[in-house]
Chain A
Amino acid sequence: MSRPEGTRSSRRSLQVKFVPDEDVLKHIADDAGTKVRKDKAQLSVSVKRFVKKLENISDNEAQEILEEKNYVAALGICAQDPMGNGSNISGGEVYSFQTPKCSNKMAELASELAQTPEKNGAPDHSKCPEKMAKTPQSSKEMFLLMHVFSLLFQNKKKEFVSTTPYRLRKRLAAPDPYLESESEYSASCSEEEDEEEKKEVSIVLSDQKTPAKTKAASTPPPRNSLAKKIKEQKMDNLVEEYFEAHSSSKVLTSDRTLQKLRRRRLNQQTLHDLLKNAPLAYAAEIRNLNQQHESLFSKWMLQLHLGFNIVLYGLGSKRDLLEKFRTSLLQDSVHLVVNGYFPSITVRSILNSITEEVLDHIGTFRSPLDQLEFITKRFKEDSSLELYVLIHNLDSQMLRGERSQQILAQLSSLPSIYLIASIDHINAPLMWDQAKLSLYNWLWYETTTFNPYVEETSYENSLLVQQSGSLALSSLTHVLHSLTLNARGIFRLLAQHQLEKKDNPSYPGLSFQDFYQQCREAFLVNSDLTLRAQLTEFRDHKLIRTKRGADGVEYLLIPVDDSTLTDFLEKEDEDV
């Protein structure tokens, strides 16, 4: 049960589970036994677990209490949101505030997840282990639910009830002793509740019923006011928490870096190979899911022809789905596929491909607007002209700008252009205002595929993937080989200086004056002007970058990462 806190080793080590075996056994027995009692048992077990955890954790209690408050808030939102749709999740749950926490929190959760035993033999027991795998949050939430309601039940005095939030806050100030008593109190509550069994559980779950059902009729008014108060409190809390979270500029994370990890960095190619070998989990289910989506193809076709445009959303790459749609239905018609995830795609290139490929127009346009006008005119003149436009990732970096969206929207509003697009970013719908939405005339389709985003992420510069420096290196050497010896020397000087300062994260670059001084000393230049001319050449080849510091001094920097630079210098040394 006991856990060493604070040391790094403890974070790394897999943690001992804090659910005692008796509890598990009892829980399983309960589950196998009467199904009526199941819920209650579940609740009490989770409560007990939580209580025990509380006793253990003394370190980051304050944060946890803050989090509890979160869950009160989330709870309130849940209660206010009675929309029956199964997939509906209240906003509070999705975007609840989280307070800064120590990083061991993550490890904790990980170990808890990892705890899930493998040993589920009998089918009727199969549900249990997963239930045990509940994260601390869920148990906390349960605890809070019970806590709030038990307070309601046992102390019908309004004043006392209304002071709860205050007490919560107070607990934040003086955590230790108070919390102990509080948790014990709630534990006793839960035991008392055992007697009242399911009724209360059902109230806790359905949440809209008044407690009048179980208790005296005097309860409803305070309950209502409490609900109101919780709501108000929740608003306050949200605001408070927001600023609280943002006021602390210091972020508590461990200082470990990937470099200290002995594991080498993977580059794009090896990553790709490795992933190819790794089996895709739940392939069958994913295929099922995709088949469901594919059955909608003919419907999409119909709706496209009726003047709607289709947008697909949901987790997972929708590229394959769209490709399938294209190959199965659009073979015989004119269509244009736009890979929005491609980092150098622009609206202009889309428009160009329409005018050049589809309309066979040779010539350039002064602005995209002119081009759009031309396209509009052509499509209006010739009603037999039809074009399907498929855009993967309409919300990509390059296309999400206001102007490009406006142009695309206008394009899609043409009656003979049929647009079908996919979006992935969580905030993608914010791109569109009312006017654009009405131009787009979207029909939304949820297509969660769970397919990995292979193509889409391959252009991303992830921190974890080693920047394939090979390209930069070769271009560096190429350019420099075409330059004079002096120029090479100048660049070398700059590179060496930069490598010397590589440990300084706030290194602004070498100032021009210093650089000039050094170059003179090395007999590389004889005047200010020659150096400037040389630097202009470097800049044209994108070998260096200049920026002005706060004091107006020009700083020079080579925009290549250190390892590439080291490689380069080594190679140069070999050559010389």
Chain B
Amino acid sequence: QQIQENLNKQLLDNLVRFLSRSHSDFQEKTTKWTCKMKFREIPTAALVLGVNVTDHDLTFRGLSDVLQDNITPYVALLEAKDCPGIKNLMQKLMGQLMNCDIEVDSMEDEDCVQVSQNRIRCSMPSLISWYESVTKKTDPETPSKKRNSSSRHWQSPPVVVVFKDMESFTTKVLQDFIVISSQHIHELPLVLVFGIATSPMIIHRLLPHSVSSLLCIELFQSISCKEHLSTIIDKLLLTSQFPFKLGEKVLQVLTNIFLYHDFSVQNFVKGFQLCIVEHFYSQPLSVLCCHLVDVKKRVYSLSHDQCENIRRLPSFRRYVEKQESGKQIELLTNDSFLKEETEKLLEDLHAYHENYVSILRCLHVFTSSLPKYPLGKQIRELHCACLENRVWETEEYESSLQLARMLNKTDLVTMLQQCVEILMSSSGKEFDKTVEKVKEFLTQFQNLEAEASQERDVSVSSQKELQKKTDLYHLQKTLLELKESRRSKKLTKFEMLRFEVVDYIDRLVRKYLVPADNRTLHEIVYFNAATVLRGHLNAAPRTALHTALNNPHWYLKNQDLKCDGGGISNKAPDICIVYKLHLECGRLINLVDWLEAFSTVVMAAEEPNADAASSDQVDDIIHARFIRAVSELELLGFIKPSKQKTDHVARLTWGGC
């Protein structure tokens, strides 16, 4: 479990690092551009961030940190939900700015008094006076103390106000704020940052011209969330350093949620964390899912039960069956032998991953530039395809190879160079030969170029010859000859080489991109329970309710309840019967009829031995059961009491129209 938390942390760190890097370029721009501040116009930065609102929080936090470090100590982050009116906005703004101040100056007693005073009356003048006092205070202060920080901050640091979600602010508040602050811009160097989720047009829609003319807006575009995702996948999944891997289905579920539901990188990361947790929780052998360095120690500390667990793994069984009989017995009975073997297998697996990743990248280099992207544009699609089954057996692979055979030379050369780079950078030892081979290809191509230039001379000469001849017949003949020779020549030189290259790639793919399911002990590092994941992240509570009401057998495994189709047994729980009956009704339901129908069903279900004497009591019980069921339906939101007609309830679900 400690490992898990380490992994989680690593994950989040990665994300944060990435995000901060992604907007570091903003900072550079902002610094340059705040210099040319003009009077009367408030410099404004509009960040277009995309619809993945949930990720913005991190971005803004990173942004304000960076701003605080580099430009100004005065940064205020405002959210729409905190600022229903201009007063609240000012209050919040003051509070945040004062707090920044406290952190910087660490002169608590005085500032605290100030804060409490300002709580009462928050207005622009007070803000300005505060600002002046602060800047004055910092100026005459001992230069020795401030020097290092003043190198970072300017003489009069601007106050940066960040509006996190501009769309959800009320326009009135925004307008007022902008107008007011523009009046004071010469006293208070204010910089606004708008976070925008939709499009930059929204500024002009929210603000009338008279207001927006007070702003000096510059637009910044953040990196799209898809690119975030691919970087994260690149960093987390396609490295051999990270021992934990996702199975094909799981990855697909996660990307589907990402693409079709929220575009939120944070949610993707959350899903990934959940996968890790689930894996370590449900798989007893996940102790072995760690870095290669630790494997040896952990394998030797395995208990007998854990060894048995290993023996029970389906992939290990397959492996055992392939061995000769003596070894089989050893594997199945001798624990220490098993441990050695396991270690070896795990090392194999690790090596496999290393090779897999680099070859996958190479293949991606080839396929990503093909027209129509038969194997997908993104590397994650390719990854999924490779995990799913043998990629070389799919039609898409065939077609992409066909297309690769038609590549022109310059593309091919650049691709090969990229491959060389990838292979060189990977740590696998087996790739020396491959690299050599690819390099050989490259030199051959270069040779080809040289030859081709010679060739051209030849063809030029032949064309000269052509000019000499005037005879029509001869002309035709030479043209035919030329054509034929050209075709044959190409096939022999360039095309031959091209075929060779493609075949070589094909061989590499067949060798290294074997789906992980075929590897022994893949269960240890791969997480494959996609349905569990979907259930937890993308649940369907309505479906669950519907199933429970329509088909109670699904949950209560009782033979009496078993029935097929849309039917329901009359012995089902009360609420199911009531629900079923209510489905038959229109917008309004008469309670009396409903009750009667219910009692008919229930009476039939019970033994018909109810005597006349006890029938009254039975009636009461049925009545009570009905009441309970109806109020349960009300709680579930299927019906509500209606005033339209006495003793009627209204249906709330769509069917009740």
Contacts and interface: CB of A to CB of B under 8 A. Distances in A.
Interface of A: 11-12, 14, 85-89, 94-101, 103, 105-111, 113-116, 118, 126-127, 130-131, 133-135, 137-138, 141-142, 241-242, 245-246, 251-261, 263, 266, 270-271, 274-275, 277-278, 281-282, 285-286, 288-289, 299, 302-303, 306, 308, 313-316, 341, 369, 406, 423-429, 434-435, 437-438, 441, 443-446, 448, 450, 452-453, 456-457, 460-465, 505
Interface string B360-385: 00000000000000000000000000
Contact of A314 (B270, B541, B607, B637): B541
A450 B281 contact: no
B555 A448 contact: yes
B592 A109 contact: no
Interface in B545-574: 545-550, 552, 554-559, 561-571, 573-574
A458 B610 CA distance: 30
Given A109-B584, A113-B577, A456-B635, A448 B548 contact: yes
B246 interface: no
B265 to A, nearest CB: 11
A343 to B, nearest CB: 12
B589 interface: yes
Given A95-B653, A114-B570, A315-B545, A106 B597 contact: yes
A426 B653 contact: yes
Given A95-B653, A275-B625, A425 B636 contact: yes
Contact of A429 (B54, B541, B569, B653): B541
B593 A253 contact: yes
A110 B545 contact: no
Q: Which of B281, B559, B598, B632 has the most CB of A within 10 A?
A: B632
Given A253-B586, A315-B549, A463-B647, A138 B267 contact: no
24 contacts: A89-B543, A98-B655, A101-B584, A109-B581, A113-B570, A114-B601, A118-B607, A133-B570, A138-B565, A278-B621, A278-B624, A281-B571, A288-B557, A289-B555, A306-B5, A314-B544, A429-B542, A441-B270, A444-B539, A448-B544, A450-B555, A452-B628, A452-B632, A453-B631
A130 B657 contact: no
Interface stretch (B178-186, B488-496, B638-646): B638-646
Contact of A98 (B543, B564, B619, B657): B657
Contacts of B555: 285, 289, 315, 448, 450
Given A302-B277, A315-B544, A113 B568 contact: yes
B567 A138 contact: yes
B81 interface: yes
Nearest to A288: B557
A138 B626 CA distance: 25
A154 to B, nearest CB: 25
Contact of A134 (B547, B567, B590, B648): B567
Q: Is the interface of B mostly helix, strand, loop or mixed?
A: helix
A133 B567 contact: yes
A302 B281 contact: yes
B66 interface: no
A253 B644 CA distance: 12
Given A134-B565, A141-B566, A428-B541, A252 B556 contact: no
B567 A100 contact: no
B541 A100 contact: no
A109 B604 CA distance: 13
B655 to A, nearest CB: 4
Contact of B656 (A98, A114, A306): A98
Given A95-B654, A113-B577, A456-B635, A134 B566 contact: yes
Interface string B27-65: 000000000000000000000000001100100000000
A427 B636 CA distance: 9
Interface of B: 1, 4-5, 8, 53-54, 57, 81-82, 262, 264, 266-267, 270, 273-274, 277, 281, 531, 535-550, 552, 554-559, 561-571, 573-575, 577, 580-581, 583-594, 596-598, 600-601, 603-605, 607, 619-621, 623-628, 630-632, 634-638, 641, 644-649, 653-657
A457 B628 contact: yes
A88 to B, nearest CB: 7
A105 B540 CA distance: 31
Contact of B632 (A263, A302, A457): A457
Contacts of B580: 109, 113, 135
Nearest to B538: A444
A131 B567 CA distance: 8
A60 to B, nearest CB: 12
B273, B557, B567, B623 — most chain A CB neighbours (10 Å): B567
Of the listed residues B54, B586, B623, B630, the one surrounded by the most CB atoms of chain A closer than 10 A to its CB is B586
A257 B594 CA distance: 11
Contacts of A253: 585-586, 588-590, 593, 645, 648
B631 A257 contact: no
B3 to A, nearest CB: 13
Contacts of B594: 106
Given A253-B648, A299-B281, A406 B81 contact: yes
B586 to A, nearest CB: 4
Contact of A254 (B270, B538, B590): B590
A452 B561 CA distance: 18
Given A256-B592, A285-B556, A448-B548, A434 B262 contact: yes
Given A98-B655, A130-B562, A464-B630, A425 B584 contact: no
B617 to A, nearest CB: 9
Given A314-B548, A426-B541, A462-B627, A245 B657 contact: yes
Query: Which 4 pairs of residues, A with B, have the shortest CB-CB distance?
Result: A114-B604, A444-B539, A100-B586, A110-B597
Contacts of B637: 424-428
A257 B592 contact: yes
A426 to B, nearest CB: 5
Contacts of B631: 453, 457, 460, 462, 464-465
A509 B509 CA distance: 85
Given A94-B543, A258-B647, 19 more contacts: A87-B543, A87-B544, A88-B540, A103-B590, A111-B600, A113-B570, A114-B570, A130-B567, A135-B568, A251-B587, A255-B645, A266-B623, A282-B556, A282-B558, A286-B556, A406-B81, A446-B535, A448-B555, A463-B647
